[in-house]
Each structure stands twice: as structure tokens, then as C-alpha cells.
Chain A
């Protein structure tokens, strides 16, 4: 089973270019997330989505847009890439624990460099 699939795995952009990171999950999870991780740092939440058609801002949403097209897919778009957006991007989906909270399942990440 695939779990959470992210594409592409690597991408190099020039400043000002746009691109969309794709994420899909096959576990029938309702909630999905986009995080970024800079070197030596933890993950920072960009956007999250509780269900199809709903999205919420996380800790660092500026410069990004998201789209929850359906239950499976949650895409992240950079409209005008900046060097500060050079990072590793992780997509995740979650399922609820019976004692509360959500367990995250991550994709393998996208290494994005903006020159």
C-alpha cells in the first residue's frame, strides 16, 4: 500500500517561478497537512485541512496556497517562489487515536531549492 505519496521528490526553482507540490493519500483519512522543515529545525505547519473543501492556516502560511481537491489529494502552491522558501516539504494525513489525538502519516518529502 502506498500510504502518502508526494511529488516531486526534488525541485529547483528560480526566484519568482511558481509550482505546485502534489500530495495524495490512500488511507481514507479526513485530515491532511503540509509542513516545511528547514535545516536543524523542527517541522512548521503551513496549512491543514479537516476535510474536502476546508483548509486552515498553520504557523507559516504566507507565500503559500493550498487546495483540498477531494478526500485523497491536498496540493500546496507557491505562486512566486522566494529563496526563503528553500526547504524540505512534508505532506501528512492523520487518523484518530481511540484515546484522543491524531496519528500522522508522512510522505517522504520534497526537497525544494529556490535560487
Chain B
């Protein structure tokens, strides 16, 4: 079983729609969680961190459920520029002073159509 699993997509939605991505992780000791965005043939870039209390950045909302080992990303009022691959990322670092083993999910591809 992969340590981080995501909806494979692709998601193809109209501009203005709300879209949600899900991600599950297998290691209950995982320390921190993120969503990254990757445009075609480019390097990934951090979209937002994910906290148990939930966090919001404009049209983007991320949520973590530690009990279910589940992470979500919600995009409201989607724009054409949101078309990209969204990567769920989990930090398996065992402790503060140890190396961070940072694992990516396989990504969910999103296409926004006019």
C-alpha cells in the first residue's frame, strides 16, 4: 500500500465550480501535511499547509482529520488558472531533530473549462 494515496482524477469542471480533492495517509505518526501545486513540466510549488483546525487561503480550504488519516483540499469559484496537478504531501519525520522524510501522493489532475 502506498503511504500517501490520492484521487487520481482527472477532474474536469466548469469555471466557477467548487471542487474537492481527497488524500489518505497510512502512517499515523505522520507529523505535518501540505498541498503542492504542479503545472505541466514544472517543479511543484507549495500551495498551503494543512492543520487539524482547518485553514483557508482565499478560495482554498484545507482540512486534516488525524483520526481518519485523511486530508482534503476544497477550491471554490474555480478559475481557469487553477488548472494544474495537485499533490498531497506528508512529512513522516519521526522527530524534531531527525531528517524529514517527505512523501508525495501521485497527484490529482484538475482541468477547468470556460
Complex formed: what's the CA distance from A106 to B58 in Å? 24
Q: Which of B4, B42, B49, B104 contacts A101 (CB 8 A)?
A: B49
Q: How many Cβ-Cβ contacts under 8 Å join chain A to chain B? A: 72
Cβ of B33 within 8 Å of any chain A Cβ, yes or no, is: yes
Q: How many residues of B contact A (CB 8 A)?
A: 29
Complex formed: what's the CA distance from A103 to B99 in Å? 13
In the complex, are the beta carbons of B99 and A54 less than 8 A apart? yes
Query: Chain B, 75-114, contact with A by CB distance < 8 Å: what is the 0/1 string?
Result: 0000000000001010101000011111111110000000
Q: Closest Cβ of chain B: how far from A105's Cβ, in Å? A: 9
Segment at the B interface, from A35-43, A70-78, A79-87:
A35-43
Query: Chain B, 1-34, contact with A by CB distance < 8 Å: what is the 0/1 string?
Result: 0011010000000000000000000000001111
Q: With A42-B107, A44-B104, A101-B32 as known contacts, state yes or no: A31 contacts B99, CB within 8 Å.
A: yes
Q: With A100-B31, A101-B31 as known contacts, state yes or no: A49 contacts B44, CB within 8 Å.
A: no
Give B residues with C-beta under 8 Å from A: 3-4, 6, 31-34, 36, 42-46, 49, 51, 87, 89, 91, 93, 98-107
- Identify 13 residue pairs between A and B in the complex whose beta-carbon atoms are under 8 Å apart, listed by A's number: A33-B102, A42-B87, A42-B104, A42-B107, A43-B44, A50-B100, A56-B101, A59-B103, A101-B100, A102-B100, A104-B44, A104-B102, A106-B44
